[in-house]
Amino acid sequence: MGVTRIGHVALRVMDIAASVNHYTKVVGMDVTHRDSDGTTYLKCWDEWDKYSVVLKPSDRAQLDHIAYKVENDADLDVLGKRVADAGVAVSKHAAGELTFCGRSISFMLPSGQRMYLFAQKDFLGKDVGVMNPDPWPDSRHGIGAHWLDHCLILGELNPEKGINRVADCHDFLKGALDFRLTEQGMVGPNHSVMAAAFLTRTVKPHDIAIVGAPTNGFHHLSFFLDGWHDILHAGDILSKNRVKIELLPSRHGITRGETIYFFDPNGIRNETFGGLGYAAHPDMPVITWVEEEMARGIFYTAREWVDSFSSAYTAV
């Protein structure tokens, strides 16, 4: 019971045509529906639900919401009560309010992002089907992302004022929604301040991450690839399409993921994330990274801090 995985990320974008072109031609997703106002729904070839990314036309680049799927419809009642008991206001939405989904609930995370929980979304199936499937479809294109893997959100961190939305969000996700902490970044006196938290509901190293920042925000959405060769191939696709790359093919110390950071046409950060890193079983001990080793934790290969990583992010 409970949260099973990430469901989708909904983004407000300024140039819908350029954005759709990026997520289809570059990332390798397919459009599965368009609303009359231009709102566009996309899925990856290895996903089965109708969409994992929503692009909404807007006059600004902004996170609209993140959504996670729960196992059973009844979980929405159980988790909704636990969220309310944690002192967080819960909105209930009838089937269809979250497009192509059954009933849902939503609430604001302590770090200011709206999170939806839903149990059912229209089913399309993987492009390779389920009957004696090939390992990948002939329709694979661009980077050929398998699936939306995780997102990283930002929480205001100002210890002098006693504000730590990273710790608040960690406590909430763990306490109300049963996420498990896999890795943490600790800063300040005696490394006592939680500045980063990586949490999972599966055996992946993370299904969501929260990192400290001057203000709440949205950092990136990440797409899964098999491994290092696919990451390098993704770099080729990005360069062919003149996409702005922030971090060249590299490895994270945290999660051990192989990675590239790049930006969509709205300046919203994307990641391609290769490999499953390790199996984060429920009894796995929590991994800790301290402030002095944080550059190595995030940018393991170069061990040098990339300034834009902590200064360029999307409003919520």
**Which H or E element spans position 269?**
strand 269-274
If the CB atoms of residues 222 and 266 are measured against Fe ion, the closer one turns out to be 222
Shortest distance, position 127 Cβ to Fe ion, whole Å: 24
Q: Which stretch binds Fe ion (CB under 5 A): 12-20, 127-135, 195-203, 222-230?
A: 222-230
Identify the sign of the CA torsion 62, 100, 141, 46. Answer: positive
* Catalytic position from the list 183, 271, 300, 313: 271
Cβ distance to Fe ion smaller for residue 167 or 260: 260
Q: 132: which residues sit within 8 A by CB, 6+ positions away?
A: none
Contact with Fe ion (CB under 5 A) among 127, 183, 230, 271 = 271
Computed over its alpha carbons, how large is the radius of gyration of the chain? 19
Determine the Cα–Cα distance for residues 183 and 193; give it in Å rounded to an integer.
14
Q: Which of 273, 281, 265 is nearest to 25 (CA)?
A: 265
Respond yes or no: is residue 261 known to be catalytic. yes
Question: Which position among 220, 258, 300, 313 bears the catalytic label?
Answer: 220
Q: Which stretch binds Fe ion (CB under 5 A): 7-15, 19-27, 32-40, 221-229?
A: 221-229
Distance CA 120, CA 117 (A): 10
CA-closest candidate to residue 301, choices 263, 264, 268, 254: 254
Q: Which is nearer to Fe ion, 54 or 221 (CB)?
A: 221
Q: How many CB atoms lie within 10 A of CB 78?
A: 13
Residue in the shown chain whose Cβ atom is closest to Fe ion: 222
The correct pick among 104, 222, 266, 272 for binding Fe ion (CB under 5 A) is: 222
Interface segment toward Fe ion; rule CB under 5 A; list 79-87, 113-121, 268-276, 295-303:
268-276
**Strand 217-225 versus strand 245-251 pairing type:** unpaired
**Terminal C-alpha separation, the chain:** 29
Interface with Fe ion by CB under 5 A: which range of 92-100, 220-228, 229-237, 288-296?
A: 220-228
- Taking the least distance from each CB to Fe ion, the nearer of 144 and 277 is 277
Residues sharing a CB contact under 8 Å with residue 138, sequence separation 6 or more, in sequence order = none
- What minimum distance in Å lies between the beta carbon of 129 and Fe ion? 29
Task: Report 160-219 residues binding Fe ion (CB under 5 A).
Answer: none
- Looking at the Cβ atoms of 106 and 222, the one nearer to Fe ion is 222
Q: 68 an active-site residue? A: no
Q: Total residues at the site for Fe ion (CB under 5 A)? A: 2
The answer to whether 28 touches 145, Cβ cutoff 8 Å, is yes
Nearer to Fe ion by C-beta: 128 or 295? 295
**Is there a catalytic annotation at residue 252?**
yes
Do the Cβ atoms of 137 and 145 come closer than 8 Å? no
**220 given a catalytic annotation:** yes
Active-site option among 252, 258, 300, 313: 252
Contacts of 229 (CB under 8 A, 6+ apart): none
Name the residues annotated as catalytic. 150, 206, 220, 252, 261, 271
Binding site for Fe ion (CB under 5 A): 222, 271
